Amino acid sequence: MSVAKKQYKRVTTKSLVDMKANGQKISMLTAYDFTMAKIVDGAGIDVILVGDSASNVMAGHETTLPITLDQMIYHASSVVRGIERSLVVVDLPFGSYQSDPKEALRSAIRIMKESGGHAVKLEGGKEIKESIKRILNAGIPVMGHLGLTPQSIYKFGTYTVRAKEEEEADKLLEDALLLEKIGCFAIVLEKVPAKLAQKVAESISIPVIGIGAGGGVDGQVLVTHDMLGMTHEFNPRFLRRYLDMFEEMTSAFKKYNADVKSKDFPNESEQY
């Protein structure tokens, strides 16, 4: 007997490319756990990114560098259990793909096998071309990431807008064309001038998903904890906050604290 299952039209790498061709914008948010993934997926967000930003928002590290492959697999497998429709893209963390293409493939295979994610994301262009090709040759879809690439923060020295100068902007466009040519299905473009981002999006047929890259691209991504207002201290210009969860949660916790101390909680109907 077959188990009756709700039929959702799953988002695929192909449907994202089709969305761009049809002029439909793509929505993407991060998630790192089952409960959040279930809510994000249920809200109709197209892509869930298990970002290495988990290193910041979940683990409290200053950068994305410390998170390990095992930790990314743990987060990604929790997310995959929560979704029915969204495409799940998982970041390859710092140190899991930079040394050589074989290592990159091994890391990508572990992500796909052990988490059940649908694609991987790597930061960089020409310099990691062979690694991306190797992963793609194994049948694993790859999302690129250009512009501000936080795994290189110690090279940049700052989180400010990238590619304002012509030389860096030219390299970025070249890298985007290369990523499209070798077979990436999409590219994240982080913190670059809106004009440049639009030019990149218009120059390639795969979707460009922006964060701090203006409205001329094919989709938008935000870190969920930021857009929910949980990370009060993080205030870049590109961030739109849809809730003030920091305030909401603080006031709920204060109320609970007061209710416990005053013996108001639990009441008669809240016990057995």
Compute the least distance from the CB of residue 52 to ligand KIV, in Å: 5
**Of 39-47, 50-58, 194-202, 253-261: span binding ligand KIV (CB under 6 A):** 50-58
Residue 49 or 104: the one with the smaller Cβ distance to ligand KIV is: 49
Whether the CB-CB separation of 118 and 141 falls below 8 Å is answered with yes
Half-sphere exposure of 84 (CA within 13 A, CB side): 11
Compute the least distance from the CB of residue 64 to ligand KIV, in Å: 6
Half-sphere exposure of 12 (CA within 13 A, CB side): 7
Q: Is 30 in the site for ligand KIV (CB under 6 A)?
A: yes
**Of 46-54, 104-112, 151-159, 194-202: span binding ligand KIV (CB under 6 A):** 46-54
Among 41, 52, 175, 180, binds ligand KIV (CB under 6 A): 52
- Give how far the C-alpha of residue 4 lies from the chain's centroid of Cα atoms, to the nearest Å: 32
Which positions from 139 to 178 touch ligand KIV by CB under 6 A, shown as an x/- string? Answer: ----------------------------------------
Closest CA to 132 of 211, 206, 27: 206
State the burial class of residue 147 (Cβ atoms within 10 Å of its Cβ: 0-12, 13-18, 19+). Answer: buried
Residue 167 or 212: the one with the smaller Cβ distance to ligand KIV is: 212
Q: For tokens 């923060």, what's the residue?
A: 153
Residue 53 or 131: the one with the smaller Cβ distance to ligand KIV is: 53
Closest CA to 131 of 93, 98, 109, 91: 98
Whether the CB-CB separation of 247 and 241 falls below 8 Å is answered with no
Closest CA to 149 of 55, 63, 249: 63
Q: Nearest residue to ligand KIV, using CB?
A: 51
CA distance 74 to 59: 13
Interface with ligand KIV (CB under 6 A), residue total 11
Within 196-235, which residues bind ligand KIV (CB under 6 A)?
Answer: 211, 221, 223
User: Is 190 designated active site?
Assistant: yes
Within 183-202, which residues bind ligand KIV (CB under 6 A)?
Answer: 188, 190
Residue 9 or 155: the one with the smaller Cβ distance to ligand KIV is: 155
Q: Is 51 in the site for ligand KIV (CB under 6 A)?
A: yes
CA distance 221 to 219: 7
Compute the least distance from the CB of residue 59 to ligand KIV, in Å: 12
State the burial class of residue 237 (Cβ atoms within 10 Å of its Cβ: 0-12, 13-18, 19+). Answer: exposed
Q: For tokens 């047929």, what's the residue?
A: 205
Q: Which of 114, 123, 165, 190 does the annotation list as catalytic?
A: 190
Query: Under the rule (CB under 6 A), what is the footprint of ligand KIV?
Result: 30, 49, 51-53, 91, 188, 190, 211, 221, 223
Q: Looking at the annotation, which residues are catalytic?
A: 190
